[in-house]
Amino acid sequence: MTSPVGTDSQPGTIGISAIATWQPPWSLANDWFGETIARKFVHHTGIQSRRVSLEDEVSMAVLAARNLQQETGCDFGHCAGLIFASPSFIPLSVARQHLTGPALRDEHLKKAARRLARRLGIAPHGAAVGINWFCSGYSRALALASRRLVPALHLGQDQFVLVVTATRISRITDYSCKQTGALFGDLATATLLARTDSPRYPVHFELLYADARKQPADGVYFDFHRRENVLAPVEGGGRSHDGERLVFSLDGMGIADVAPRAMTSATAAALEAASIRPEDVRFVIPHQAGAGIVRLTAMKLDGLGIRCEVVNGLTAEWGNVSAGSIPLALKARWNTLSGTIACPTAAVGNPGAKEVSQGCILLRATPRHDRQSQAAA
């Protein structure tokens, strides 16, 4: 269990100073899939198109981090630590069963985090951590940052921790699969976490709480399989077939049923731990798994007394971008957010396991953020 961070503004309390994204230039629209997409697909998911990356995850992460640097002027020499969350890395327990040689080595997420740190010039001084908690990756990363990394690093006023997500689920997708082929999109994000008393990297959203944990489930919702003659898109709208590919499978109906309950439960636990009343939540930004799942989540949150705006609809252009959906949504709604913001997530557990994960992040807009948002309005 990850403990919540403090809710005061004493030195050492951290928050989000800035977020940047990198979006692959290639977009794949629904008409590419033809009859593979069910008639009610758009109603249930809201997805009209999704991005497909030709870059690997580390390269995507570098591009997002460089965008952050360009937008904020941050100096990676001030980066004390890095957390790299990627849901498209094949877990080593699975990779060792199916892959050998360079293909197996490429799935070592911890080594990928160190490569990313080196490419950004953070090594050898900064700590680099790699995690895969699938769609709960961002909440897990912020929990690790607040609970473990920041205290261990003794983060200075002018230092920051970088949380980077890189989702390239296109490389493990069977595009002919009616359950999963059209669901996910590729995206990378970079979040700068700093102390709330940092003059160099002023915080816009104070981190009140961050947690992610796994829970037992009634069934197996997620696994990997080796398949032959796998359909894949080609840039420009063409089609190709891989002779063999290791792909994931997903029980979409099972996840659609459990995700709203998991996100509601995670939100309730977060509010209780942080001593925040449901009526004091100003915005909810759930993991953008699909428009239908978010609608059901909003209904269940209403039962808790949370009757604020629930952000929905961000899957239309990007699809489900997994660990990147919360930072993407925060970036998209940056100037409209105020007060206390709850960001719940739900995700599959380990491949082949009867489990799910759930998490929640609680943020509070700072006076600085409110002033800048009013000026931008």
Nearest CA to 134 among 318, 319, 358? 358
The CB density around residue 109, as the number of other CB atoms within 10 Å, is 20
Give the model's pLDDT for residue 38: 84
User: What separation in angstroms does the CA of 279 have from each of 52, 210, 309, 340?
Assistant: 39, 20, 12, 10
Residue type, 82: L
Burial 327-343 (b: 16+ CB within 10 A, else e): bbbbebebeebeebbbb
Give the model's pLDDT for residue 374: 83
DSSP state of 90: P
CA–CA distance, 171 with 363 (Å, rounded to integer): 33
Where does residue 57 rank: exposed (0-12), middle (13-18), buried (19+ CB within 10 A)? buried
CB 356 within 8 A of CB 262: yes
Give the model's pLDDT for residue 35: 85
Measured in degrees and rounded to the nearest 5, phi and psi for residue 123 equal: -70, 155
All structural domains of the chain, each given as residue ranges with its CATH number in brackets, are 14-203 (3.40.47.10), 210-376 (3.40.47.10)
CA–CA distance, 145 with 351 (Å, rounded to integer): 25
In order along the chain (377 residues), what is the average pLDDT of each group of 10 residues? 36 86 96 89 95 97 98 96 98 96 96 96 83 98 96 94 98 94 97 97 98 95 96 91 95 94 98 98 98 97 97 96 98 97 97 97 96 82
Give the model's pLDDT for residue 5: 42
Residues 6+ apart with CB under 8 A from 285: 310, 311, 326, 329, 330, 333, 341, 342, 343
Give the model's pLDDT for residue 4: 42
Give the model's pLDDT for residue 3: 37
Residues 6+ apart with CB under 8 A from 57: 86, 88, 89, 112, 166, 167, 168, 188
**Beta-strand (E) ranges in the chain?**
14-22, 27-29, 49-51, 79-85, 127-131, 160-167, 187-195, 205-216, 222-234, 238-250, 281-284, 309-310, 340-348, 355-365
